[in-house]
């Protein structure tokens, strides 16, 4: 596409149309204190090859990059992506597809979404999956709003403090102007949500837990479900590592009413933090309150299989203020990639990969414990866990960084009571040499 700048004549014609004397007049509403008085100090132009070299040099100064071992997870996980996924996702019919605004003529897109929904329902153990949300944080927030729609007159939800801090921040941002109450539940010494912090509350619509939670710990979902259902409240299960359900029981089988979270681990690259994918599943009884789109399978008048948009956000113009959210455009590519990934691994492959992730993290946890580190939480974990380095070796994180090892996430900024604790992650991408190198440096 050629770049065709406006001529001076074009500019003058447009200025006359809006009754402005100059381009500066267009910015007269911006206070002087907020405006730049000097031009940006930009370097001169570079040739294509000079620019390529310059960008490579910049890339080497930022991020973990190649040649470093990163044990950072905390919501975005480093997994191998099969070459078949990249090859298929690069095909133009997938790569350029978008939300089907005329669904009846988008059979290929609808079929891909239907397959994705079917696989998500199997993975999370619930009857209905939507066509996807933006990311895990917005999916959880929409799940809480959905619970309030189902409960109708209730105005209170409870959220575990062991949920990802960024997810909880998004919840606060959404809920603050809405007039609802968000209670926060503390966590126990074992690293799970504390049931004692939830008091009897007839106004409670739902409780949201994360499993594996932000500390990597598996929550006791079945006991929470039994307690909440007895009080006519819903259990919402969030997650940032869906691969765990290749090994552990699904949220639906343990009593969750809504299971939602981040699907980045399912074949989507980390890409410096985005894009993500919001998985969202629920029980059939609550389908009409579910946000986003839902694709169904049917037969046409000739008896051939066809796909239809069973639940569409075009209902916004019909249901008006009762309409659900429509933040679901991830079905264009990210959801399709996740469907490809789940179909490629299959049930056996997903379990084998989950076991490998669990085993790598358990090996690292045991070796760090023997090296003098403290593992504060005793609950079962998946591929992530919290560690406290020896008090006499508080320089360990700096030494690890100097050796090209990213020592996980410092928890202090998010949990002041865990100031000297780190969250470490180990997936199938970490070799035994990588794990041993970390332990050796800690023990030195």
The pLDDT value recorded for residue 42 is 87
Instruction: Measure the CA–CA gap between 84 and 149, rounded to whole angstroms.
Output: 41
Per-residue b/e over 230-261, b at no fewer than 16 CB within 10 Å?
Answer: eeebbbbbbbbbbbbbbbbebbbebbbbbbbb
Same domain, 337 and 354: no
CATH of the domain at 91: 3.40.640.10
In a shared domain, residues 111 and 247: yes
Question: Residue 317: what pLDDT?
Answer: 55
pLDDT for the residue numbered 92: 84
Q: Does 420 lie in the same domain as 385?
A: yes
Domain boundary residue, one of 307, 342, 377:
342
**Tens place of pLDDT per residue across the chain (444 aa):** 466 788 889 999 999 999 999 988 998 899 988 988 888 888 899 999 999 999 999 888 876 555 678 999 999 999 999 999 999 999 888 887 766 666 677 888 889 999 999 999 999 999 999 999 999 999 999 999 999 999 999 999 999 999 999 999 999 999 999 989 999 999 999 999 999 989 888 999 999 999 999 999 999 999 999 999 999 999 999 999 999 999 999 999 999 999 999 999 999 999 888 889 999 999 999 998 999 888 999 998 999 999 988 887 555 556 666 667 666 666 778 999 999 999 999 999 999 999 999 999 999 999 999 999 999 999 999 999 999 998 878 789 999 988 889 999 999 999 999 999 999 999 999 999 999 999 999 988
The CATH number covering residue 366 comes to: 3.90.1150.10
The pLDDT of residue 297: 94
Q: Quote the pLDDT of residue 298.
A: 93
Last residue of a domain, one of 297, 322, 342: 342
**Structural domains of the chain, count:** 2
**Domain, as residue range, for 266:** 83-342
Residue 437 lies in a domain: yes
What's the confidence (pLDDT) of residue 88?
93
Q: So what's the pLDDT on residue 61?
A: 81
Distance CA 186, CA 327 (A): 30
Q: Are residue 313 and residue 368 in the same domain, yes or no?
A: no
Dist CA 198 CA 159 (whole Å): 10
Give the burial class of 434: count Cβ atoms within 10 A of its Cβ; 0-12 exposed, 13-18 middle, 19 or more buried: middle
Say whether both 284 and 253 belong to one domain. yes
What integer pLDDT is reported at residue 37 of this predicted model?
Answer: 84
Query: Which residue among 310, 326, 342 closes a domain?
Result: 342
Same domain, 231 and 351: no
Same domain, 338 and 363: no
**Is position 5 within any domain?**
no
User: Residues 222, 311: one domain?
Assistant: yes
């Amino acid at each position: 596409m050629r770049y065709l700048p406006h001529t001076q004549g074009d500019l003058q014609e447009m200025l006359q149309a809006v009754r402005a004397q100059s381009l500066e007049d267009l910015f007269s509403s911006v206070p002087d204190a907020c405006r730049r008085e000097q031009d940006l100090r930009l370097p001169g132009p570079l040739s294509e090859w000079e620019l390529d070299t310059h960008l490579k040099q910049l890339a080497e100064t930022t991020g973990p990059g190649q040649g470093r071992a990163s044990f950072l997870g905390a919501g975005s996980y480093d997994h191998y992506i099969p070459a078949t996924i990249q090859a298929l996702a690069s095909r133009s019919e997938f790569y350029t597809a978008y939300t089907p605004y005329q669904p009846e003529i988008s059979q290929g897109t609808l079929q891909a979404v239907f397959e994705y929904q079917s696989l998500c329902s199997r993975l999370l153990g619930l009857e209905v999956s939507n066509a996807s949300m933006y990311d895990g944080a917005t999916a959880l927030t929409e799940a809480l709003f959905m619970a309030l729609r189902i409960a109708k007159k209730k105005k209170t939800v409870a959220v575990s403090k062991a949920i990802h801090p960024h997810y909880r921040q998004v919840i606060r941002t959404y809920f603050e102007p809405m007039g609802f109450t968000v209670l926060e539940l503390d966590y126990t010494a074992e690293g799970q949500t504390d049931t004692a912090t939830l008091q009897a509350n007839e106004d409670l619509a739902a409780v949201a837990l994360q499993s594996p939670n932000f500390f990597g710990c598996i929550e006791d979902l079945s006991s929470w479900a039994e307690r909440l259902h007895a009080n006519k409240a819903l259990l919402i299960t969030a997650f940032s590592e869906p691969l765990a359900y290749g090994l552990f029981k699904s949220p639906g089988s343990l009593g969750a009413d809504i299971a939602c979270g981040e699907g980045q681990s399912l074949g989507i690259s980390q890409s410096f933090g985005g894009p993500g994918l919001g998985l969202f599943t629920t029980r059939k009884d609550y389908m009409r309150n579910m946000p986003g789109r839902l694709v169904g399978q049917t037969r046409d008048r000739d008896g051939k299989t066809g796909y239809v948009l069973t639940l569409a956000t075009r209902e916004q113009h019909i249901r008006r203020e009762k309409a659900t959210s429509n933040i679901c455009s991830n079905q264009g590519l990210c959801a399709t990639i996740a469907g490809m990934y789940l179909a490629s691994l299959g049930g056996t492959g997903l379990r084998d990969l989950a076991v490998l992730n669990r085993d790598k993290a358990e090996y690292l946890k045991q070796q760090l414990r023997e090296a003098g580190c403290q593992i504060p939480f005793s609950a079962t974990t998946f591929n992530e866990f919290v560690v406290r380095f020896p008090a006499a070796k508080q320089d360990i994180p700096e030494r690890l960084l100097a050796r090209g090892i990213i020592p996980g996430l410092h928890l202090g900024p998010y949990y002041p009571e865990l100031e000297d604790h780190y969250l470490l992650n180990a997936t199938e991408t970490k070799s035994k040499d990588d794990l041993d190198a970390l332990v050796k440096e800690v023990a030195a």
